[in-house]
């Protein structure tokens, strides 16, 4: 290692495995920490995310009418509602080891056609109180056709096409139509 190169020297001094002093600990130990749940503002709204209970499945429809009609609900949003905003952006310009551009597959804020893991966000409910948001989130009905999921590490490393990156099999308009029929 060339210790005259400042970049290499800083890696050995400040790199992986080095202890990091935590300046926030005394405040937390004294119970003086401030968290977002401690903040209460006038006209504050609360959001609860509706998540998939399936590890893998086709999202056939989302029924939101019951939730939208509940007291205190300000809005219920699905991927169809957010389509105009585009996908989540990767703002860090990562490169591959060979210097080529990193692949940046589209990442949607909410699942539109397929759920890919337990907890995949499918809808978001915004309400005047946290309890109203939770109640309305429970009123959102998901129609998910479960697909096989790989849960065994030995099976996961077997060479085969990855169904997680295939193009969607259902369009947003199909989901909107299915939701409208409810």
Q: What angle do CA 49, 53, 55 make, to 5 degrees?
A: 120
First-to-last C-alpha distance (Å) of the chain: 67
pLDDT band, very low/low/confident/very high, at 176 (cuts 50, 70, 90): very low
Q: How confident is the model at residue 56 (pLDDT cuts 50, 70, 90)?
A: very high
Q: How far apart are CA 134 and CA 72, in angstroms?
A: 11
pLDDT tens-place string over residues 4-37: 555 555 555 666 677 778 888 888 889 888 898 8
What pLDDT was estimated at residue 15?
A: 64
Would you state the pLDDT for residue 21? 81
pTM above 0.85, yes or no: no
**How do residues 67-119 score in pLDDT, each as one tens digit?**
999 999 999 999 999 999 998 888 887 888 898 988 888 889 999 999 999 99
Any residues with CB less than 8 A from the CB of 136 and at least 6 apart, and which?
48, 67, 68, 70, 72, 73, 76, 125, 127
Largest CA distance in the chain: 70
Q: How far apart are CA 178 and CA 143, in angstroms?
A: 9
Residues ≥6 apart with Cβ < 8 Å to 106: 87
What is the spatial distance between Cα 181 and Cα 61, in angstroms, rounded to a whole number? 9
Q: Tell me, what's the pLDDT at 160?
A: 72
Architecture of the domain made up of 46-149+163-182? Alpha-Beta Complex (3.90)
Domain borders along the chain are: 46-149+163-182
With a cut of 90, say whether residue 137 has pLDDT above it: yes
What are residue 95's DSSP bridge partners? 101
Indicate if the pLDDT at residue 171 is higher than 60.
no
Q: 3-state SS of the chain: helix, strand, coil percent to 5? A: 30, 20, 50
- pLDDT at site 7: 55
pLDDT at 182: 41
Share of the chain above pLDDT 90, in %: 47
Taking all residues of the chain, what is their mean pLDDT, rounded to a whole number?
Answer: 83
């Amino acid at each position: 290692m060339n210790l005259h190169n400042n970049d290499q020297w800083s890696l050995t001094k400040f790199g992986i495995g080095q202890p990091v002093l935590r300046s926030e600990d005394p405040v937390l130990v004294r119970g003086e920490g401030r968290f977002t749940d401690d903040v209460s503002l006038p006209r504050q709204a609360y959001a609860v995310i509706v998540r998939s209970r399936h590890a893998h499945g086709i999202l056939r429809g989302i029924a939101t009418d019951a939730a939208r009609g509940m007291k205190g609900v300000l809005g219920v949003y699905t991927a169809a509602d957010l389509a105009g905003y585009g996908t989540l952006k990767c703002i860090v310009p990562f490169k591959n080891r060979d210097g080529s551009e990193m692949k940046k597959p589209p990442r949607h804020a909410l699942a539109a056609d397929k759920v890919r893991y337990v907890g995949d966000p499918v809808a978001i409910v915004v309400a005047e109180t946290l309890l109203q948001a939770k109640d309305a989130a429970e009123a959102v009905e998901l129609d998910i056709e479960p697909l096989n999921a790989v849960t065994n590490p030995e099976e996961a490393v077997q060479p085969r096409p990855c169904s997680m990156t295939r193009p969607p099999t259902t369009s947003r308009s199909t989901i909107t139509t299915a939701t409208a029929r409810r």
